[in-house]
Structure 1
């Protein structure tokens, strides 16, 4: 995960080739969290605060919603 003042980027890192690929990014609204990869590698889970509530999201690691 990498944060700028306006976006949070989530990357997939390949240990064999030492390369990474952006799998998802989102605009920052003042809150962001580290992601956790699903045990089977199928997705990335993260939380985000919206309207005072924290929500849990899953992003597929192929970059699609």
Structure 2
């Protein structure tokens, strides 16, 4: 019975110690991924004197 309690204790302790290590590893792997270059959305607005097309009904 004592061995079973020790085994359970070490299993729980190992899981508690592995959790922060897993989070740190995941953060490092995420930081090493290359960045995706995304062009910012900048629509070309017509000048103030430009004629706009009629609205569709």
Q: With structure 1 as the length reference, what TM-score do the two structures score?
A: 0.15
Q: Which has the higher strand share?
A: 1
The structure with more radius of gyration: 2
Which structure has the higher relative contact order (CA within 8 Å, separation 6+)?
A: 1
Q: Which has the higher helix share?
A: 2
